[in-house]
Amino acid sequence: MTQFSVQESKTQSTSIGSMAEQEAPAFTATTLTELATQAIRHGMTWTVFRPEHGVFLAEGNGHTLRPKGQQLLDFEIVPNPPSKSKVLDHLYIPSPLVDKLFFGILPGYEPFHLPDYRIGSTTDVYTTMYSLDPTGSATKKIRDNRHPSFAPDCLFGFSDIIPLAAPMLRQYSSTIIRLPIPAQYTVGLLTHKEGFVVFRHRLNRFIASPRYVTERKDTGLYAPYIAFWVRDKYCELMEHFPEWEDEVLANKQINNRSMQFLDACNAAWDYCTGHLSNLIRTYGKNFYRDLMAAHLKHAVNWWHQAWNRMRAGEARDNYGLRDYIAEGMHLYWDYLDLVVKEMQERGWSEVPLATLKDAWIVMVFRGFCWWRCHWMMEGQEMCVAPERLPSEYYEDSSEDARYLGEKEDEYVVVAKA
């Protein structure tokens, strides 16, 4: 299919008068996925998407995508009147993996033997969490948290799956870091300043604790020192980049963050990935998956428990930041022993305690690094879903047809390229 460039569109027409004089060319998508991603690749958002009826409309970044032509998937992209919006900030990372997010599908990091996870709808979230925790306790907690009278759109703790499971989607030598929003709730303790600051303080206390010193004695030479590396790397990033801990400062720059900052965070993510890969090779391919699952199983409890501790006057130091979020990261550290116990129950009892704890520390720090290399939303805009399409619209290249609904008559046969 011919690709249509936003910049080409701008050169073709720069005023309302010239737009009226020049007719926009028509294009034909060969699949629904190709049609849907045309909008996201050009920084637009779908306002209507019912292609089975020939009805679809996307707008944004100074352009509109709409139907044109005789075929079901024929469309045109036309420029709108000039606006003050920044073209750069509307662009998404150009990648087939990023396209999946647009359909509520989180691509899993293949070297860690993680599959894709569907998280775009409530049912998808429950199904994914149950696949990671067959006991059902975590799924029940997510359901309880989403009570209509409480926080129906929030996925406290579960949203950690995004930075923990996804590959590095940001591309080297590029400052384009914007991603589509794959779920109703994507931010969490691994994005907020409170999570960063409390993690730093708790890490310093943890590696100095007599208990950890004792546990290290039974571990090999390499693994025990990774926690110290995390501490030093964290302080290095904090010293050189004020936006490392402060997501408000970081979010002031979307697709124009410092290349030096992005490369530094990316390099730290790579190092953490290498350490975890070594553990997978040493102990087994499901090591990281179970570690992530054990974390998520307990992470979904932080919201209620943080507020309960605050009401009981038992909240710990918030370092002058939002108290309930700071308490949440304190609870993450409290859960570490539970994560270790969960890992042992899943068959990883031969792994030294210090190695398991170090792996969790590396995983969380790696999640911090991932978030600083990507952007989905700004500030407190946590519960939004206008960009996301149902996952059933996503088409694997091996499929000959795409069913658009549950009814048998709602389908369209997709032509092969």
How far apart CA 142 and CA 127 sit, in angstroms, is 11
Average the pLDDT over 168-193 and give the result: 90
In this predicted structure, the answer to whether residue 227 has a pLDDT above a threshold of 50 is yes
Query: For residue 211, what pLDDT is reported?
Result: 84
Q: Where residue 148 falls among pLDDT bands split at 50, 70, 90?
A: low
Q: What percentage of residues in the chain have a pLDDT greater than 90?
A: 51
Q: Where residue 341 falls among pLDDT bands split at 50, 70, 90?
A: very high
Asked which of 183-192, 256-265, 287-296 is least confident by mean pLDDT, the reply is 183-192
Give yes or no for a contact between 236 and 268, defined as CB atoms under 8 angstroms apart. Answer: no
Query: For residue 292, what pLDDT is reported?
Result: 98
Q: What percentage of residues in the chain have a pLDDT greater than 70?
A: 81
How far apart CA 159 and CA 154 sit, in angstroms, is 9
Higher pLDDT, 327 or 186: 327
Give yes or no for a contact between 216 and 224, defined as CB atoms under 8 angstroms apart. Answer: yes
The reported pTM is 0.82
In this predicted structure, the answer to whether residue 36 has a pLDDT above a threshold of 90 is no
Q: Where residue 220 falls among pLDDT bands split at 50, 70, 90?
A: low
Higher pLDDT, 254 or 165: 165
Q: What is the pLDDT of residues 252-276, one digit of tens each?
A: 888 889 999 999 999 999 999 999 9
Query: For residue 224, what pLDDT is reported?
Result: 53
How far apart CA 145 and CA 139 sit, in angstroms, is 10
HEC string for the chain:
CCCCCHHHHHHHCCCHHHHHHCCCCEEECCCHHHHHHHHHHCCCEEEEEEHHHCEEEEEECCEEEEECCCCCCEEEEEECCCCCCCHHHHCCCCCHHHHHHCCCEECCCHHHCCCCEECCCHHHHHHHHHHHCCCCHHHHHHHHHCCCCCCCCCCCCHHHHHHHHCCCCCCCCCCCCECCCCCCCCCCCCCCHHHHHHHHHHHHHHHCCHHHHHHHCCCCCCHHHHHHHHHHHHHHHHHHCCCCCCHHHHHCCCCCCCHHHHHHHHHHHHHHHHHHHHHHHHHCCCHHHHHHHHHHHHHCCHHHHHHHHHHCCCCCCCCCCCHHHHHHHHHHHHCHHHHHHHHHHCCCCCCCHHHHHHHHHHHHHHHHHHHHCCECCCCCCCCCCCCCCCHHHCCCCCCCEEECCCCCCCEEECCCC
Nearest 5°: the CA angle 415, 416, 417 is: 120
Average the pLDDT over 352-376 and give the result: 95
In this predicted structure, the answer to whether residue 400 has a pLDDT above a threshold of 50 is no
Which single residue is written with the structure tokens 């996301």?
A: 388
CB burial of residue 50 (10 Å; 0-12, 13-18, 19+): exposed
Per-residue burial over 152-163, b if 16 or more Cβ lie within 10 Å, else e, is eebbbbbbbbbb
Query: For residue 375, what pLDDT is reported?
Result: 92
Higher pLDDT, 392 or 55: 55
Give yes or no for a contact between 156 and 302, defined as CB atoms under 8 angstroms apart. Answer: yes
Adjacent-strand bridge partners of 75: 27, 67
Q: What is the pLDDT of residues 99-126, one digit of tens each?
A: 899 889 999 999 999 999 999 888 899 9
Under 8 Å CB-to-CB from 417, ≥6 apart: which residues? 1, 30, 31
Query: For residue 16, what pLDDT is reported?
Result: 31
**C-alpha dist (Å) from residue 104 to 125, 254, 402:** 10, 21, 17
**C-alpha dist (Å) from residue 301 to 45, 52, 170, 298, 328:** 33, 41, 30, 6, 9
Give yes or no for a contact between 111 and 277, defined as CB atoms under 8 angstroms apart. Answer: yes
How far apart CA 165 and CA 108 sit, in angstroms, is 5
Across all residues in the chain, what is the average pLDDT?
Answer: 82
Give yes or no for a contact between 255 and 175, defined as CB atoms under 8 angstroms apart. Answer: yes
In this predicted structure, the answer to whether residue 186 has a pLDDT above a threshold of 90 is no
Query: 60 φ, ψ to 5°?
Result: 140, 160
Q: What is the pLDDT of residues 344-363, one digit of tens each?
A: 999 999 999 999 999 999 99
In this predicted structure, the answer to whether residue 221 has a pLDDT above a threshold of 60 is no
Average the pLDDT over 220-245 and give the result: 87
Query: For residue 377, what pLDDT is reported?
Result: 65
